Structure 1
């Protein structure tokens, strides 16, 4: 792009239209009044008004920002009854593009309009604007006329507006950079609070796509066992693309992963291969880099043409990529710690269950069903973790009491019944002394409450019973009914479910029972698929 460091008005390049014009007469119109504003809208409106005062039938005034990376000009603002479309203009455009590319004012015909009895032409006059010693933008005016308008009149009108128009561009760029920085900081703050890797990936992709206006996006992570890049989350891509893998160094994403370099691609319509098949016409791909390590890549694409992604977008997404890598690493560490924590609790429960052969494996079945019910009911995060702990340790009080009540095949004595009813309290008191397990205390304490208020320990009813306790009650009862006891054989799942349905609304939460039914139905529907493999 040609540099223009002179403050003099840009020269007008002669075109067939301008060559046909008659010699311009000296203007007798009043001097041009330029408002003291650097807001694009009011400035362009004033430009259109001043043009009309010079007997020019101005139908639009518009301001463009030049993006050298994509070789396009992008609309910043426009006013008038016939404003141009808000889409990038290539620098090989004969008027706007020509003015930007050759740093020279340009007049050209952009449209002809016909009615039954008349015909007129839309003429566009474009003047380059200097920014940082080069052409940074274009100021343009569209006028109606049967023949080409006077270039001297157009130059006379536009020239006084050039300094303010350049200032408008600078303000626009600065505001955009501030907005991008604020958005990136907000994303960083949000991701720093996430401890689930899936949440980090989803948040990063959603926020990045929204920030740059992408229509497709994906996060690919390295599968360390297979040594390939695999899509962890995708939006706007076909199933075939989501299921595919890449070797490091293969394709655009593989190259970015292998080289740790971000990439902006603007000419995908000219490229063969998978990017074209997905309908993507421009793309940004950045590494998810955490120091020297690369965890994967973040891909964003647009399906519009001319391309809408710019160098500014690339820099912004690159920062998001680094933030994502840090947040993902922290979440992975937290997840491994969490897994170790639950594995330790599970090992403890297994050791305790060795004292009661009838109970072995039962706790883990309760855990499986409780978590499935909770997820089906939309629970997640800390609430789900509390249910996880409570399901593992809900019978800790039974074990601590030393009474093997589940294997007794006779009527319980008064003392034994007292111990049975006390076991939630004993377990809750043990857990209350451990701050890391405190969220599970209300669930354990209340898991023998009944929905109609006739249970124990507090006689709570309905939704006053903690939701986790209502879930655990259903899971615990289902496992108990489908387990062998010395005094009866195990029920079938269908029989146990029918019993739960019968007690829904009295002993059990109807919503939790319905959730269990959906879970079991889903497992039955998937069972033939597993057997077919």
Structure 2
């Protein structure tokens, strides 16, 4: 049997001799190059001596009898078995391996792993196994065992509690090992139940082989959190980029912030361009009076501080803090700026009423990124909204200009627009359809220009030609609007707004719900405004009279559900119904 140690030593010696020989040879070559004969002679002698010594040693070793040393060192009787290494870096698996490692000297009742959160100076529980696992409450970094191990970067051992089991007093001790995966810091600990003081050196010897696996498991946990946060932020960035309405951008941002941080309360505050003060524009879980009355200036309160510094802030309360010292019951909070390179637009706030909260530095950084994404999306949405308002105001000006041809229709367009908008909101029209309905309310009678003299001002029966032209005005309007790509969603509403619910109207001969909902809404709003407006041949009807007429024609000319909504708007005193006329 070959002695692995002797062979290695011999190899090292032979290797060392060869190295010296090479050095001597290099020296000889240098002597020849630089013309130093004496140096060359010394080098040749040195090489010869090395070669003779090496040959003699090798021959002696060939005739010597190596000691019989086993290839694998056997454990002496009674020694602990080798540490069982976990097959994966799963936290539970690694912690079970830690419990098993100390089994030869103590009964493990729990094993757990913690990660330091520098922003709150606490340790956060990552995983725990065993019948006496610790509660998930964060521990302050000044904890006497776990915190000490992290702060000092050394193992720590201390008693936790005394327990009586079967008449025998046992002591629960906690042994902690510091972990440093990358730039993060954490700690793994095993709690043991013993009747005598444990040997810290022995516990260290048994668990040290697992430190690499423990650190790897903690690093995997950190990577998993960061990956989940990154995936969530990519998804919300994609979602926000599709939002072109400022209200939708803000609601999406608030929903995302609360979901990411598992918060109980949340709010978005924006700065008032006139005063520069922060006010709440979106909120969840806060009292209505708080939402209404909160106003913060630069540097005032947490949000004011974030506004003035442009820095995110995480506040983790202490369990012992009295309730009177908390704001709206919030014990933990994160505030981040809604900011980009062009400045700060507002603040995102999330809060927790429980301790411990789930907030960590990772959450704060993720919310900070969300704040930047929200700022970009909000500026884009505001720009689109401004363009839409300008576009809508231009269409409105055109519609009002058309009204000047008919003094009896003055003010009717704005009333139709307002009623149609309110009915659409009650019926839950999607934003895109609601926008198309608003434009249709402005331009539905643009085809009336083809009739020549405004029919509303004629105080005699219409001629056959005039009546035919009147029936054609929805088609003429639709053909005009069809030429404008941006208004193509409006065309079906305008074209079908004189259809009857029973199919006897004009346009496409549609009936019931095959008529676009926007057209059914416009038909009711248009008819109500026409009946309550004066004409040369009659006075304006009262609200009661007009509603009676609509109810009488519901199911025949008008959609009953749309008539019902308008009736509710007019009779319940809802402020959404403009210029209501009372009986």
- TM normalised by structure 1 equals 0.87
Quick one: structure 1 residues 522 and 271, their matched pair in 2 at CA, closer, same or farther if it must change by over 3 Å? farther
The counterpart of 1:367, out of the listed 417, 426, 442, is 417
Aligned partners of 1:95 and 1:124 also within 8 Å: yes
| Correspondence list, 1:159-198, <5 A | 159-198=208-247
Question: 2:93: which partner in 1?
Answer: 42
Aligned partners of 1:376 and 1:519 also within 8 Å: no
The counterpart of 2:185, out of the listed 122, 136, 140, is 136
Q: Secondary structure at the match of 1:277?
A: coil
Counterpart Cα distance in 1 of 2:397 and 2:355: 58
Aligned partners of 1:128 and 1:137 also within 8 Å: yes
Quick one: structure 1 residues 56 and 446, their matched pair in 2 at CA, closer, same or farther if it must change by over 3 Å? same
Counterpart Cα distance in 1 of 2:139 and 2:393: 59
Aligned partners of 2:99 and 2:190 also within 8 Å: yes
Q: How many matched pairs?
A: 501
Counterpart Cα distance in 2 of 1:117 and 1:461: 87
Counterpart Cα distance in 1 of 2:545 and 2:509: 28
Please tell me whether residue 323 in structure 1 is matched to residue 373 in structure 2: yes
Question: 1:421: which partner in 2?
Answer: 471
Counterpart Cα distance in 2 of 1:525 and 1:209: 33
Counterpart Cα distance in 2 of 1:448 and 1:268: 67
Question: 2:360: which partner in 1?
Answer: 310
Aligned partners of 2:120 and 2:314 also within 8 Å: no
User: Deviations for 1:296-353, whole angstroms, at most 9, x for unmatched residues?
Assistant: 1122222232454222222211111111111111111111111111110010011111
Question: 1:357: which partner in 2?
Answer: 407
Quick one: structure 1 residues 394 and 275, their matched pair in 2 at CA, closer, same or farther if it must change by over 3 Å? farther
Counterpart Cα distance in 1 of 2:99 and 2:142: 26
Quick one: structure 1 residues 122 and 378, their matched pair in 2 at CA, closer, same or farther if it must change by over 3 Å? farther
Question: 2:45: which partner in 1?
Answer: none
Aligned partners of 1:128 and 1:139 also within 8 Å: yes
Q: How far 1:267 sits from its partner (Å)?
A: 4.3
Q: How far 1:60 sits from its partner (Å)?
A: 2.3
Gap regions ≥5 residues in structure 2:
1-76, 578-583
Quick one: structure 1 residues 61 and 354, their matched pair in 2 at CA, closer, same or farther if it must change by over 3 Å? same
Counterpart Cα distance in 2 of 1:268 and 1:149: 33
| Correspondence list, 1:35-434, <5 A | 35-52=86-103, 54=104, 56-112=106-162, 120-132=170-182, 136-243=185-292, 244-267=294-317, 276-434=326-484
Question: 1:12: which partner in 2?
Answer: none
Question: 2:573: which partner in 1?
Answer: 523
Counterpart Cα distance in 2 of 1:308 and 1:101: 22
Question: 1:33: which partner in 2?
Answer: 84
User: Deviations for 1:65-101, whole angstroms, at most 9, x for unmatched residues?
Assistant: 1122211111112222332222312122233223223
Please tell me whether residue 470 in structure 1 is matched to residue 520 in structure 2: yes
Q: Secondary structure at the match of 1:125?
A: strand
Counterpart Cα distance in 1 of 2:158 and 2:546: 82
In terms of mean alpha carbon deviation, does 393-402 or 511-520 score higher? 511-520
Quick one: structure 1 residues 293 and 68, their matched pair in 2 at CA, closer, same or farther if it must change by over 3 Å? closer
Q: How far 1:425 sits from its partner (Å)?
A: 0.4
Counterpart Cα distance in 2 of 1:308 and 1:250: 26
Counterpart Cα distance in 2 of 1:169 and 1:431: 63
Q: How far 1:36 sits from its partner (Å)?
A: 3.8
Counterpart Cα distance in 2 of 1:409 and 1:350: 23
Gap regions ≥5 residues in structure 1:
1-25, 528-533
Question: 2:32: which partner in 1?
Answer: none
Quick one: structure 1 residues 388 and 46, their matched pair in 2 at CA, closer, same or farther if it must change by over 3 Å? same
Q: Which is greater in Rg?
A: 2
Counterpart Cα distance in 2 of 1:350 and 1:526: 22
Q: How far 1:156 sits from its partner (Å)?
A: 3.6
In terms of mean alpha carbon deviation, does 444-453 or 119-128 score higher? 119-128
Aligned partners of 2:451 and 2:466 also within 8 Å: no
Question: 1:495: which partner in 2?
Answer: 545
Point out which structure has higher relative CO (alpha carbons under 8 A, 6+ apart).
1
Counterpart Cα distance in 1 of 2:166 and 2:87: 44
Quick one: structure 1 residues 268 and 115, their matched pair in 2 at CA, closer, same or farther if it must change by over 3 Å? closer
Quick one: structure 1 residues 237 and 112, their matched pair in 2 at CA, closer, same or farther if it must change by over 3 Å? farther
